[in-house]
Amino acid sequence: MVAMASSSAINCSTVLKLARQIIDSSSRPEIRSLLVELTDKLTITSQAHYPSASSVSSCSTTTITPKVTKRYPWVSKTFKQLQSASEVTLPPSSTTRSSTNTNPPLSFANATYGETPPATISTILNILSEHNGAIPFEGYFVDAGSGKGGALVCAALEGMFHHCRGIEYNNDHSQAAISLQRQYDQKHNNPKLESSNYPPAVDSCSIQFVCGDLVNERFHGASVVYSNAVLFDSHLCGILGHSLDRADLQPDAFVVTATRRFS
């Protein structure tokens, strides 16, 4: 029971932090995303306070595991096949982006590179789809800082969007993403032909990778904007927050960032 109380205290602290972020935020998309996260944390906290009879009788700590989509096992397997065919090897998160001849070098923080695991994307989309209330999403999926394309291709394979768009500053990573896109276009851009036990909500999902600067992206029409922004500096987060505030997003759009807020 001590471990359970400790877990509950941690969740309560997180809930208070999220509440403060909602109060301080002036960004409609960010507020909506924070409310989704707050709802999930409140559910977890409630379950920690009122555990099931089976968990009490076994005297074990209740662990809440985020759920991936039912389609995820097929998505994970298919992504690995596409990745292997395109000869893309995802580097560890400690590697950094190198500067290119076409783009000036980034700051060390903005240049630090890491890939989002397929299970993380599946979990995020599973949560958002439940709160969205309708699949497919009206707008498209954006990966702001798409790297070598893994997260975006997994989002496309989930079958919830008609279009997915990735923006990446580093030219070498963009070329690797385009190589992955070719494999996707050749083999899996017609979900009707897929062997997954859980058919997608859309007949096909096109993907696009753009080698460009995020500060020039406008995000118009997006339903979900995702960014693995763990080490983005405050200046870039501020610019992206301003862009998203002015963007003509879908009415119920979500902005999901890893660690850093766009504000």
Does the structure show a pLDDT above 50 at 90?
A: no
pLDDT value, residue 200: 84
Model pLDDT, residue 244:
92
Would you say 139 and 222 are in contact if contact means Cβ atoms under 8 Å apart?
A: yes
Q: Which position has the higher pLDDT, 132 or 217?
A: 217
Residue with tokens 């505030």: 245
pLDDT of residue 21: 72
Which of 62-76, 91-105, 122-136, 193-207 ranks highest by mean pLDDT? 122-136
Residue 174: CA atoms inside 13 Å, Cβ hemisphere, count?
20
User: Which helix (H) or strand (E) is 171 found in, with range?
Assistant: helix 171-187
3-class state of residue 39 by DSSP:
helix
| Integer Rg of the chain from CA | 19
Place of tokens 């460009």: 212
Prediction pTM value:
0.69
**Please, are residues 222 and 141 in contact by the beta-carbon 8 Å criterion?**
yes
Burial 172-182 (b: 16+ CB within 10 A, else e): ebbebbbbbbe
**Which is nearest to 173 in space by CA: 156, 207, 149?**
149
pLDDT at 23: 65
Select the more confidently predicted residue: 122 or 32: 122
CA–CA dist 46, 12 (Å, integer): 10
Please write the tens of the pLDDT for every residue from 223-258.
999 998 877 888 888 899 899 999 999 998 999 988
pLDDT in tens, 143-187: 999 999 999 999 999 999 999 999 999 999 999 999 999 999 988
Mean pLDDT of the chain: 76
The CA distance from 175 to 235, in Å, is 27
Is residue 262 within 8 Å of residue 246, measured between CB atoms?
no
Q: What pLDDT sits at residue 201?
A: 85
Say which residue the tokens 């990573």 belong to: 173
What order of strands is seen across the sheet that includes strand 140-144? 206-211, 163-168, 140-144, 222-227, 254-257
In 3D, which of 68, 102, 258 has the Cα closest to residue 173? 102
Question: Residues 139-143: what's their mean pLDDT?
Answer: 97
